[in-house]
Amino acid sequence: MLTEQNYKDGQILLIDKPLQWTSFQVVNKLRWLIRKNFGIKKIKVGHAGTLDPLATGLLIICTGKFTKRIQEFQGQIKEYTGTIMLGATTPSYDLETEIDQTFSIDHISEKIIHEATSHFIGEIEQYPPVFSALKKDGKRLYEYAREGEVVEINSRKITINEFEITNIKLPEVDFRVVCSKGTYIRSLAHDFGKALNSGAHLTVLRRTKIGAFAVEDATTVQYFEDQLRPKIETT
């Protein structure tokens, strides 16, 4: 069992983020559990890369002195799996918002889907979603979007190392992507729809790897809590 000093000296915790939780909620929950368990007032806890609330999968959580390594982990290559729904778009590029436009998919074949992935391999320009936590003039983009205010968003260079179609059951397409820091899979889904002369949005997303770390080695928030719960309940 880890000690208070272990957490202060620094730990890397691999957590499988639950659906609907924000990354900050996971951090806050783990911080509270560690503080409660050891009766300490302060402990540094941070995550190395946000996941959207509608995504699940690997979060790297750093404690104590290891929070200084967060940038190191953030810069590593990431792997995602998920599902793209063809034939419709949403303003957020995922299920956070309602469908705003529908498109025909009658012209789309499995061959066309596989061929379209080649347009996204390598270094490409990508526009982040308007519903994102990126800041412009000190304000988050999603705040502008929710107020109906249109703002100019600059593209950014990202790298897609692999873009594999793993299953096709139209209108749904399952995929696996290996990509650089700063890649928005929601934007990739949206742009993929355009490449198919249709529309698309992301319906499922799971982060499976960050560098050498894999979600198979992660624990759930509940498991982490259960490990500490006996001591918490007796204090």
- The pLDDT value recorded for residue 229 is 63
CATH for 230:
3.30.2350.10
For residues 62 and 26, give the distance between their C-alpha atoms in angstroms, rounded to a whole number: 12
Spatial distance between the Cα atoms of 178 and 161, rounded to a whole number of angstroms? 5
The low-confidence residues of the chain, meaning pLDDT below 50, are: 234-235
Instruction: Assess whether 167 and 223 both reside in one domain.
Output: no
84 and 195 inside one domain: yes
State residue 147's pLDDT score. 66
Q: Is 174 a catalytic residue?
A: no
- The two structure tokens encoding residue 123: 């270094």
Domain shared by 22 and 102, yes or no: no
Structural domains of the chain, count: 2
- Same domain, yes or no: 22 and 116: no
Give the per-residue pLDDT at 142.
Answer: 67
Give the pLDDT of residue 33: 94
Contact (CB, 8 A) for 115 and 168: no
pLDDT at 131: 72
Write out pLDDT tens, residues 97-135.
999 999 999 999 999 999 999 999 999 999 988 877 666
Same domain, residue pair 91 and 113: yes
Domain span at residue 167 reads 78-210
Q: Are residues 94 and 197 in the same domain?
A: yes
| pLDDT tens, position by position, 200-230 | 999 999 999 999 999 999 999 999 998 886 5
> Which is the catalytic residue, given 52, 100, 106, 226?
52
Verify that 118 and 205 share a domain, yes or no. Answer: yes
Q: Are residues 227 and 131 in the same domain?
A: no
